[in-house]
Structure 1
């Protein structure tokens, strides 16, 4: 299959593209390489995919990979409608995996415009591209943040999700509504995936586990919000990619009244207390952390815990990586990549 992956230089986009390429699919990767976090990490991911930084330009040129004959890269922003349209017109895609977005709950408090541009306008351009070129199936990234501070756990896709506590969450909920409308009106399939705290090698530096690792190794204190009384459904990257691959290979399966639309939780299904997570990280790093205990931060949530029964039933999704092994793999990569 020919698959368009947006956000290809991002954490999940990189891992998904590598997996798809190794499985023999043709991948067209798109990313704007913005500076939300260290661009050098994004470039390093692209290098792993065979894209030379010397060849990347701002002229929206399709660059052939030096490592994979079935991979091309183009530098482009989702909100750049003119060039997004060109990306859709160049090839016929069997699937579009839209993983590009302005990420980060806390960042949205200070830079709301970036979320509207990328996550709303940009997603609209993706939907329009799918509509105009008759893409059969759009898979897109939603987020566990749409559940807000729900006290009903584990979170089910049928739960009420109309009370987001951050603009980031609001944009992801908007994506789900937009996809529902387009799939209904224009007769193409859309699958939204609510990701739950994805972690692992090549991860995002803005994520807590990444920041904690850096701080502990530098003998700096780590900020711990709500005095550590938080829980997260940490999901290892290989489990996430395995789930997406199953959807790609098996095809669209609806779990809603709209036969063209589906939304699934994709996570581990086992929440971990933040302080327990830090303890595992300390053990792996062989260093004790010092803490800066802080109150709850605006836009944050107390607990995430996903119900993954629908994904299990329809796609035989079976997350297998426990938190100890996952952290071990992350630390192994981190210390090698950063020579720590």
Structure 2
């Protein structure tokens, strides 16, 4: 049986991560349909020839229509802000949990061959054990993280009951071209680069000694593609990261070196739900999917700083 992707539906495909995997698949001649509410995504992110359905994953009928004839699904649509999930947990539940169940139901009804979805390093919480391995006990510290744990449980049940393989990718800190830095809960790299380019001080929540594992969005798109095409059975979960940790203080210094400038920062109290230390064990995805990221942080930063 030919299990190569013929028609891929990508929820959240007009967003930062989604638009990159859309281009990877489109450039390979694969039919792509994007299902996106455009609340945070933009149709300008999409190449010509990609179908766009503007709707919400909370709408089961729209999903069922979109998934007709689909062979593969990449599910990225979600509310992704940890602080916002603390402020409004019901919205996070409705989109991330109920919405994902709707997507799984539509995929099951369509009889797709593979379901790939975004999970998050947030599921590990503040467990001090490092590096984070996929078989560790999850310990979510925010409604966002709780929603991702539930997504993994639901995807596992989906695979067990339908026989359709699923792959959940626990993304660590993603950065790269097209990531916005001009909103309150933007990721640290685009937020800091935008501040530096505007001659402003950067903001850090905490003491700057917290660590993160940064992975370039082009590597994330490559991991998504690998998860779509590698032969597997059952439900799987993998970390997608560099496997290297860096403090935010060190990140500031890397940005300063790359832009050949000095950078001052303003320190604020740590935010509720934020994780202190994070670095991934990436052996599972290397061994089972033969995937390794190719872009290191300093190389990646050079592509973002003018």
SS of the aligned residue for 2:140 comes to: coil
SS of the aligned residue for 2:32 comes to: strand
Q: 1:236-260: CA deviations, max 9, x gaps?
A: 112112222222222335xxxxxx1
Residue 192 in structure 1 maps to residue 171 in structure 2: no
The correspondence for 1:101, drawn from 69, 75, 78, is 78
1:268 and 1:319 in contact (8 A); partners too: yes
Residue 75 in structure 1 maps to residue 54 in structure 2: yes
Aligned to 2:103: 126
The correspondence for 1:180, drawn from 148, 156, 160, is 156
Residue 169 in structure 1 maps to residue 169 in structure 2: no
Aligned to 2:3: none
Aligned to 1:291: 265
Please list, as runs of the form range in 1=range in 2, the aligned pairs for 1:27-66 lying within 5 A after superposition.
Answer: 27-35=32-40, 42-46=42-46, 49-50=47-48, 65=49
Aligned to 1:225: 205
Residue 210 in structure 1 maps to residue 190 in structure 2: yes
2:71 and 2:111 in contact (8 A); partners too: no
The correspondence for 1:309, drawn from 280, 283, 291, is 283
Q: 1:7-50: CA deviations, max 9, x gaps?
A: 11111100001010101111111110115xxx6xx24313xx12
TM-score computed with the length of structure 1 as normaliser: 0.84
- Structure 1's unaligned 5+ residue stretches are 51-64, 66-70, 254-259, 333-340
Q: Output the CA distance in 1 between the equivalents of 2:277 and 2:130.
A: 9
1:2 and 1:25 in contact (8 A); partners too: yes
Q: Output the CA distance in 2 between the equivalents of 1:43 and 1:85.
A: 22
Aligned to 1:138: 115
1:191 and 1:252 in contact (8 A); partners too: no
Q: Output the CA distance in 2 between the equivalents of 1:315 and 1:85.
A: 30
Give the superposition deviation at 1:182: 1.6
Residue 329 in structure 1 maps to residue 306 in structure 2: no
1:217 and 1:287 in contact (8 A); partners too: no
Aligned to 1:14: 19
Name which of structure 1's ranges 113-122 and 194-203 shifts more when overlaid on structure 2. 113-122
The correspondence for 1:274, drawn from 224, 237, 248, is 248
Give the superposition deviation at 1:289: 2.1
Please list, as runs of the form range in 1=range in 2, the aligned pairs for 1:254-273 lying within 5 A after superposition.
Answer: 260-273=234-247
1:6 and 1:98 in contact (8 A); partners too: yes
Aligned to 1:54: none
Aligned to 1:338: none
Q: Output the CA distance in 2 between the equivalents of 1:252 and 1:17.
A: 22
Q: 1:231-281: CA deviations, max 9, x gaps?
A: 11000112112222222222335xxxxxx1111111110111111111111
- What RMSD, in angstroms, separates the aligned Cα atoms of the two structures? 1.4
TM-score computed with the length of structure 2 as normaliser: 0.93
- Structure 2's unaligned 5+ residue stretches are 1-5
Q: Which runs of 4+ in 1 moved over 3 A?
A: none
